[in-house]
Amino acid sequence: MNSADPLFLDVDFFQKRKTGQFVCGDSFFSRKIPGRNRVVSVLSDGLGSGIKASILSSMTATMALRFMEGDMEILRSAEVMMDALPVCKVRGISYATFTIVDAVLHGWTRVIEMDNPPFLLVRGGRVMTPGRREMASSRWKDRKITVNEFFARPEDRIILFSDGVTQAGMGSWANPTGWGEEKCTEYILRLLRDRPGLSSRELSRRIVSEALVREPHEHAGDDVTCAVMYFRSPRKLLVLSGPPFDGQRDREYAEMLGKFPGRKAICGGTTAEIVARELGRPLVTDLATARGGMPPLSSMDGVDLITEGILTLTLVSKILDGKEIVREKNSAARLASLLLESDRISFVVGTRVNEAHQDPTLPVELEMRRNIIRTIVRTLEEKYLKEVTVSFI
C-alpha cells in the first residue's frame, strides 16, 4: 500500500446463536464518529444465553458506544455499565463482558477489554503484543479492565471473539477443553498465510464455521461471535444503473466505467447495451445463470458483474437488510457480495425513462430505481460502514 493512500477500516462480524435459542446472547455494534476519522466497535457477551443475555449484551454495547463517542473516562464508563446491569443471583455480579475497539485511522488505536477472550492483533503474519495496562475499580474489585494501545498500520487486523469460539466443543470427546486460544490463533495465522487479502467478512465467517466444526453435530453449545477489523487500502466499486437522461451523454456514461480504477458492475439490460455499444465490447447473456426466479447474468470484458435492473436491486436491498436469505448464488446474491466486499462504492444512476416499459409522463420505474438505490446506500453506510456516493446523470 502506498503511504499516500487513504487508510480504510473494513469492519465485519459473524455469529451463531446457541442451539435451541431464538436470539444470540452476544452483541456487536460498530459506528463511525462523524467528522473524526474514527470508528468505535464493541463486542459484548451477556451472562447465560437467549433473551436475557441478549438484553444484557445490547445494553452494555450501547452504553459503551455512547461513552466512547463522548470521550468519557474508561474506568468511569466501565463502572457505570456494571452499576446499570442487573445482578446475577448465583454469582452475585452484574455481568456482561465487553471488548471495545476505539480506532483512529492513521492514529492511535485503543482496545479495552473486560473478561472476553484476549483480542488478536495480526501484523505481517504474526500476532503482536501491544503496550497494555490494567485498571481496577474500587467498587468492583473482582473485575479487571485491560487497556491496549498501539499505532495501527496498513494491513493490520484486529480480531475479537466471544468465548463461544475459544471454548467450542468443550466437554466433547474430541475437544474436551474446547478449541482454545492457541489453536484458534494457529488456524487464523494459517488462513491469512494462505489468503493474505481475506476480507473481514470472509475471515469472521471462516473462524465461526471452524469453531462450529468442533461442536458435536456442529450444534453451537454457546453463542459464537467473531468480529474482524482490517486496516487497508480501500477497495473501490462503480455501479451503473439506468440510461442517462440525455442520449448525447451515452458515450460519457460508458467512459465512466471504462476509466474507473476498481471493480465495476452494471445493473440493467439497457445500461449494459449502451456501455457495450459505446465501448465496442461484445455483450453476452448466459441463460444458464438464471436462478431463484432472477434473470440471468451477462458478461463483458472489463466488467465484473452485469445483472438485470429493478428486480435485482430490490432483492439486493432485502439481502443487505437481512430480510431475505438467498441460498442460490443468483444475480442478486452476487451483487450483494460484491457490494459487501467493497469499501468505497460509487453509484451512477441514469434518469432516462424507459419508454418501452411505460408512459414517459409517469416515471414510476425511475422513482423505483432511485428509492431502491437510496435504501441500499443507507444500509451500506449505517449497517456496514461503507463509504458511498450517488450521482445522477
67-80 pLDDT, tens digit each: 998 888 888 888 88
pLDDT at 359 over 60: no
3-state secondary structure of 108: strand
224 in Cβ contact with 13 (< 8 Å): no
Mean residue pLDDT of the chain comes to 88
pLDDT tops 60 at residue 45? yes
Q: What residues contact 125, with CB distance under 8 A and at least 6 apart?
A: 189, 192, 193, 196
- Domain-by-domain residue ranges, the chain? 8-232, 236-392
The class (CATH top level) of 8-232 is: alpha beta
309-321: pLDDT as tens digits: 888 999 999 999 9
Question: Do residues 268 and 309 make contact, with C-beta atoms less than 8 angstroms apart?
Answer: yes
pLDDT tier at 373, thresholds 50, 70, 90: very high
Distance CA 112, CA 118 (A): 10
pTM, rounded to two decimals:
0.84
- pLDDT at position 3 is 43
Which range of 175-184, 327-336, 359-368 scores highest in mean pLDDT? It is: 175-184
How do residues 232-268 score in pLDDT, each as one tens digit?
989 999 999 999 989 899 999 999 999 999 999 999 9
Q: Report the range of poorest mean pLDDT among 34-38, 49-53, 179-183.
A: 34-38
d(CA 65, CA 367): 36
Virtual torsion, Cα 166, 170, 172, 173, nearest 10 deg = 70
**Band of the pLDDT at 16, cuts 50, 70, 90?**
very high
Picking from 275, 243, 233, 242, the residue whose alpha carbon sits closest to that of residue 256 is: 275
Q: Using alpha carbons only, how large is the chain's radius of gyration in Å?
A: 24
* All three cell numbers of 36: 473524526
C-alpha cell at 370: 432511485
103-154: pLDDT as tens digits: 988 778 999 998 899 999 999 999 999 888 888 777 776 778 899 999 999 9
